[in-house]
């Protein structure tokens, strides 16, 4: 091979590698093994993205610890280890069923604080309850409050579980809110200490009506704010069903009432693509950009048969989310490709 040909080949290889690099995608699922109920956080302190989830794969949803994964760009994910273990004395009030966490980052002067909310099984009541643990870093170590902060249904609600918690900071009022509920949706303002709710603000928000084809509420409330509207997302049907999907409504207040969207279903199975049960989501806005992502779980297609335990063989995925000019959410196309790398700077000291 002469020098000109060799030079041409080296340039061609470099251009090919550059093109591959520029088109690098996360792929779906983005986390190894089985995880579900994902919560995503961009940390202003570290400049990294974090995912917290239900550790899946255990029969009867028997996972007992929470892990964290971090990423600089939403594409490359690093396992950060176990951050809270319900099978030890770290959480004195719970014995297992470590489910569906959420987290919020708060700046307090020159330091940062993280409040990690989750549900676990309380043997004293033989029910699920919601607790909170605190840390100074997004990967811990976390210290549990020592007792649950939500351990009973709202007055007038006769069924459902205290699980699937979501925490939301209202940029309008500066207040923080907690949402939760399987079988019902409840919300309440959090006290400034972030470890208790303001009791007289507790509100039952369950969207009325609907069917399993569209928006009948089951669980997993998630709230975010955009352009003057509060968006409420929730999951429909059973987590082990291929039909498990996401619906939404909006409100002018963080505690409702919720107006169900005209076309409420925004994420649903695509059997022709081998995608089943995509739901139980969290939402990520890239700071200071109108750029949005949905992080959700779906059933591993090899376990879709009921005898294989589809409800606890779930995997975490990510796709982009877009809005119409009127603020309605466009239907989300679940993919196997995932998303391209995203770069965000951490907050200045």
**37 belongs to the catalytic site:** yes
Report the SS3 class of residue 165: coil
Of all helices (H) and strands (E), which one includes residue 186?
Answer: strand 186-189
Return the closest-CA partner of residue 284 out of 153, 103, 107.
103
Structure confidence by residue, pLDDT tens digits, 230-288: 999 999 999 999 999 999 999 999 999 999 999 999 999 999 999 999 999 999 999 99
Range of the domain at 155: 27-321
Q: Exactly one of 37, 56, 164, 189 is catalytic; name it.
A: 37
Higher pLDDT, 11 or 42: 42
Asked, for residue 3, whether it belongs to a domain, the answer is no
How far from 13 is each of 9, 20, 85, 160, CA to CA, in Å? 6, 11, 48, 58
Does 118 score more than 60 pLDDT? Answer: yes
Asked, for residue 245, whether it belongs to a domain, the answer is yes
Asked, for residue 263, whether it belongs to a domain, the answer is yes
Q: What is the CATH number of the domain that holds 147?
A: 2.115.10.20
Asked, for residue 335, whether it belongs to a domain, the answer is no
Q: How many domains does the chain have?
A: 1
Asked, for residue 326, whether it belongs to a domain, the answer is no
Asked, for residue 343, whether it belongs to a domain, the answer is no
**219 belongs to the catalytic site:** yes
Asked, for residue 203, whether it belongs to a domain, the answer is yes
Contact 71, 49 (CB under 8 A): yes
110 confidence band (pLDDT: 50, 70, 90): confident
In the chain, the percentage of residues whose pLDDT exceeds 90 is: 90
Does 8 score more than 50 pLDDT? Answer: no
The single residue listed with the structure tokens 């750029």 is 291
Does 5 score more than 90 pLDDT? Answer: no
Structure confidence by residue, pLDDT tens digits, 282-308: 999 999 999 999 999 999 999 999 999
Asked, for residue 211, whether it belongs to a domain, the answer is yes
Residue 299 DSSP code: E
Does 184 score more than 90 pLDDT? Answer: yes
Q: What pLDDT score was predicted for residue 346?
A: 74
Contact 224, 234 (CB under 8 A): no
Q: Kindly tell me the burial class for residue 264, based on how many C-beta atoms sit within 10 Å of its own C-beta (0-12, 13-18, 19 or more).
A: buried
Residue 119: count of CB within 10 angstroms of its CB: 27
Q: Exactly one of 39, 166, 219, 319 is catalytic; name it.
A: 219
């Amino acid at each position: 091979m002469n020098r000109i040909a060799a030079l041409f080949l080296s340039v061609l290889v470099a251009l090919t590698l550059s093109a591959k690099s520029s088109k690098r995608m996360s792929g779906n699922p983005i986390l190894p093994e089985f995880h579900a109920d994902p919560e995503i956080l961009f940390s202003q302190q570290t400049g990294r993205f974090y995912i917290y989830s239900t550790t899946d794969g255990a029969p009867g949803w028997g996972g007992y610890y929470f892990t964290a994964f971090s990423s600089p760009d939403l594409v490359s994910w690093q396992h950060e280890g176990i951050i809270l273990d319900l099978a030890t004395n770290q959480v004195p009030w719970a014995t297992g069923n470590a489910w569906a966490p959420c987290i919020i980052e708060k700046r307090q002067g020159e330091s940062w604080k993280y409040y990690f909310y989750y549900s676990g099984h309380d043997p004293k009541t033989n029910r699920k309850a919601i607790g909170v643990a605190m840390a100074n870093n997004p990967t811990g170590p976390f210290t549990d409050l020592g007792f649950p902060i939500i351990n009973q249904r709202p007055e007038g609600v006769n069924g459902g579980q205290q699980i699937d918690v979501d925490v939301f900071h209202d940029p309008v009022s500066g207040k923080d809110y907690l949402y939760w509920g399987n079988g019902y949706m409840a919300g309440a303002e959090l006290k400034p200490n972030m470890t208790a709710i303001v009791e007289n603000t507790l509100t039952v928000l369950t969207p009325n009506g609907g069917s399993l084809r569209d928006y009948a509420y089951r669980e997993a409330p998630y709230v975010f704010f955009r352009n003057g509207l509060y968006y409420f997302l929730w999951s429909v049907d059973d987590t082990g069903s291929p039909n498990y999907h996401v619906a939404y409504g909006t409100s002018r207040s963080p505690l409702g009432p919720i107006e169900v969207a005209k076309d409420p279903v925004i994420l649903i199975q695509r059997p022709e693509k081998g995608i089943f049960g995509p739901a139980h989501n969290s939402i990520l806005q890239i700071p200071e950009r109108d750029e949005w992502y949905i992080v959700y779980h779906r059933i591993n297609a090899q376990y879709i048969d009921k005898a294989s335990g589809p409800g606890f063989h779930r995997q975490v995925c990510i796709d982009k989310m877009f809005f119409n000019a009127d603020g309605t959410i466009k239907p989300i196309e679940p993919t196997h490709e995932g998303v391209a790398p995203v770069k965000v700077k951490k907050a200045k000291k």
